[in-house]
């Protein structure tokens, strides 16, 4: 089925010994698509992971660090953390936090302490939750060796896109596109009547509807969607989204050729080390 809502999935702590973040996880073949929840004043310790990370806040504010750059991030600003970049995301004291959280599948969603070496075998979400409760940082036995966390030379990782998610509509179709090494992010504002043709997906894609109503077609299935709805489109499948309200906003995340080639060429041993499942949900 190509249509989902995060409420349909079980929510789990992703790295409980380092973060209060809890999320349902939808797996594609090449990426993890999640909605992370953090209570006011809580969040993650400084950490890193071998996969690239995309963040787009939906509600609340993030006290965010990527490398050495610290900023307060509100809905409407996109955050990019390259693979191995040291980072921390904490909810500010004035409210709970939710943000779209997308990682490539060259590693699990479980993070590593900033001063920890990459282990020979990643932990899965189930394993890390069986081993740790939230806040069990002192119980974690770090992998010995040199950390691969990147702190210097990350350049600007924060991308303001729109003032607020309920800002006045644009006068025309507008797209903001940000492409990393492994994952790409698009923010779309689409007026009714804009001709969105049926396309064949060159990359694996997840759409998340922010506002308005859209007629979505993915493969042979079609559905009217609203805020919070998700469309999953595997690589090679046909799709089409058309605004059925006066105006609609949505995000799109997709894989890149680099990521697809890297995962498609993984040996069985490499896949086992990264603990990745190559099949989508």
* Tens-digit pLDDT profile for residues 124-153: 999 999 999 999 988 888 999 999 999 999
pLDDT (0 to 100) of residue 24: 97
Q: Which residues contact 232 (CB under 8 A, 6 or more apart)?
A: 2, 3, 4, 26, 28, 33, 205, 206, 218, 280, 281
Residue 277 has what pLDDT? 74
Q: pLDDT value at position 193?
A: 83
Here the tokens at position 49 are 């992971």
Ordered per-residue pLDDT tens for the chain, 281 residues: 799 999 999 999 999 999 999 999 999 999 999 999 999 999 999 999 999 999 999 999 999 999 999 999 999 999 999 999 999 999 999 999 999 999 999 999 999 999 999 999 999 999 999 999 999 988 888 999 999 999 999 999 999 999 999 999 999 999 999 999 999 999 999 998 887 889 999 999 999 999 999 999 999 999 999 999 999 999 999 999 999 999 999 999 999 999 999 999 999 888 888 888 767 76
Residue 257, C-beta contacts closer than 8 angstroms, at least 6 positions apart: 203
Question: For the chain, how are helix, strand and coil distributed in percent, rounded to 5?
Answer: 10, 45, 45
CA angle at 260 for the pair 104 and 272, rounded to the nearest 5°: 65
Half-sphere exposure of residue 258, counting CA atoms within 13 Å on the CB side? 9
Q: What are phi and psi of 6, to 5 degrees?
A: -60, -30
pLDDT of 281 reads: 64
- Per-residue pLDDT at 278: 67
247 has which bridge partners? 191
Would you call 125 helix, strand, or coil by DSSP? helix
The partner residues of 24 in beta bridges, in order of sequence, read: 11
Beta-ladder partners of 175:
188
174-179/205-211 β-pairing: unpaired
Look at the block and give the residue holding tokens 């991030």: 73
* Count of positions (residues) in the chain: 281
Inter-CA distances, 12 with 24, 91, 169, 221, 247, Å? 6, 18, 35, 30, 34
Q: CA nearest 228: which of 251, 245, 205?
A: 251
């Amino acid at each position: 089925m190509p249509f989902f809502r995060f409420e349909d999935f079980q929510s789990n702590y992703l790295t409980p010994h380092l973060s209060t973040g809890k999320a349902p996880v939808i797996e594609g073949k090449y990426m993890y698509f999640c909605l992370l929840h953090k209570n006011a004043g809580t969040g993650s310790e400084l950490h890193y992971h071998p996969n690239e990370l995309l963040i787009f806040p939906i509600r609340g504010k993030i006290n965010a660090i990527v490398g050495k750059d610290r900023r307060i991030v509100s809905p409407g600003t996109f955050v990019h953390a390259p693979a191995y970049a040291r980072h921390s995301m904490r909810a500010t004291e004035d409210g709970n936090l939710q943000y779209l959280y997308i990682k490539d599948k060259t590693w699990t969603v479980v993070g590593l302490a900033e001063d920890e070496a990459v282990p020979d075998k990643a932990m899965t979400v189930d394993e890390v939750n069986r081993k740790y409760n939230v806040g069990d940082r002192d119980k974690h036995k770090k992998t010995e060796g040199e950390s691969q966390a990147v702190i210097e030379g990350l350049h600007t990782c924060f991308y303001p896109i729109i003032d607020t998610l309920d800002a006045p509509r644009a006068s025309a179709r507008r797209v903001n596109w940000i492409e990393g090494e492994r994952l790409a992010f698009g923010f779309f504002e689409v007026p009714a009547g804009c001709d969105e043709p049926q396309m064949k997906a060159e990359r694996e894609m997840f759409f998340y509807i922010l506002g308005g109503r859209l007629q979505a077609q993915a493969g042979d299935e079609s559905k009217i969607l609203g805020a919070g709805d998700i469309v999953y489109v595997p690589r090679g499948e046909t799709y089409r989204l058309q605004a059925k309200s006066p105006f609609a906003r949505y995000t799109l995340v997709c894989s890149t050729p680099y990521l697809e080639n890297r995962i498609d060429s993984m040996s069985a041993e490499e896949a086992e080390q990264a603990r990745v499942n190559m099949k989508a949900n």
